[in-house]
Amino acid sequence: RHLGARAYAARRGCGKLVQPARRQRLLKPSWRMTQAAASSSSPPSSSPEGGRDGVKGPLSALRLYNTATREKDPFVPANPPRVTFYSCGPTVYDFAHVGNFRAFLTYDLLKRWLKYLGYDVDHVCNLTDIDDKIINRMARDNVTLKDLTTKYSDLFFEDLASLNILPARTYPKATEHISTIVDMIQSLIDNQYAYRVGDSVYFRTAKYEQYGSLSGKNLDGNLEGQGEGGNKFVGDKEDGRDFVLWKGYKESDLDVV
């Protein structure tokens, strides 16, 4: 059984691999240290009972970095003690590697802390089981969409368990929600936030005044077609910043309909 991170290291020649027994010994102290840190730095209580809504300490005990404000803001859930938590999952066409699992471990750390504070965390993590990388891998390996994505989804879940990551409540697949995606895109078209080019659909960035605000970058003076993709898609779009929401089907896409 391959741990994605180990398989990636082996392919790249990244030094010694951590054996399963050693990996377990490394994981356990990390979790104990997390528990110890939680015990030694319990949030201050605003009342003798230690909080409200079943949560330890005041709601301001947890502060998260807000990209919009560039500050650490108090975490205030809409319906305490319930917290809904969505995280981006893998594109299942290959082994997940070390960089991928850095993200999943970050999600796990945040979820564990929320649960320690007393929140009821409802975690959903998606699986992207259709995109260009998957289609290209289907053609290369001569396999079906289902066989390819099932194989790497199963390996991903094995790796999560090996790393002692708490599973999400559910892992919805993109292919299971195509009708919902189509309805959302049609709503954007109806409200002029998206437009068709042949069988493809692009998001109209000029319509959304706040587009780019989270990055903090000034886009004035940027030249179209100078990115990694060059001028490949510029002619199809109203604006070089526009991005695809739905790609039209091509014969080279194989059996993904």
Structure confidence by residue, pLDDT tens digits, 108-158:
999 999 999 999 999 999 999 999 999 999 999 999 999 999 999 999 999
| Whether the Cβ atoms of residue 235 and residue 198 lie closer than 8 Å to each other | no
- Classify 254 as helix, strand or coil: coil
For residue 28, pLDDT over 50 is answered with no
| Whether the Cβ atoms of residue 91 and residue 132 lie closer than 8 Å to each other | no
Residue 239: other Cβ atoms inside 10 A: 15
Q: What is the pLDDT of residues 175-221, one digit of tens each?
A: 999 999 999 999 999 999 999 999 999 999 999 999 888 988 887 77
Residues 6+ apart with CB under 8 A from 54: 80, 81, 118
| Whether the Cβ atoms of residue 48 and residue 57 lie closer than 8 Å to each other | no
Q: What is the pLDDT of residue 257?
A: 57
List the helix and strand counts (H, then E) for the chain: 6, 9
Higher pLDDT, 209 or 61: 209
Q: What is the pLDDT of residues 238-253, one digit of tens each?
A: 988 899 999 998 888 8
Q: What is the pLDDT of residue 244?
A: 93
The stretch 38-43 carries a mean pLDDT of 40
**Gyration radius of the chain's alpha carbons:** 22
Residues 6+ apart with CB under 8 A from 187: none
For residue 11, pLDDT over 50 is answered with no
Residue 71: other Cβ atoms inside 10 A: 9
Mean pLDDT, the chain, rounded, equals: 80
Q: What is the pLDDT of residue 56?
A: 64
Listed range (20-34, 65-79, 112-126) with the worst mean pLDDT? 20-34
The stretch 151-169 carries a mean pLDDT of 97
Q: Smallest Cα–Cα separation from 117: which of 69, 169, 53?
A: 53
Place of tokens 């990996």: 23
Q: What is the pLDDT of residue 32?
A: 38
- Write out the E strands in 127-242: 194-197, 200-203
Q: What is the pLDDT of residue 235?
A: 66
Q: What is the pLDDT of residue 84?
A: 97
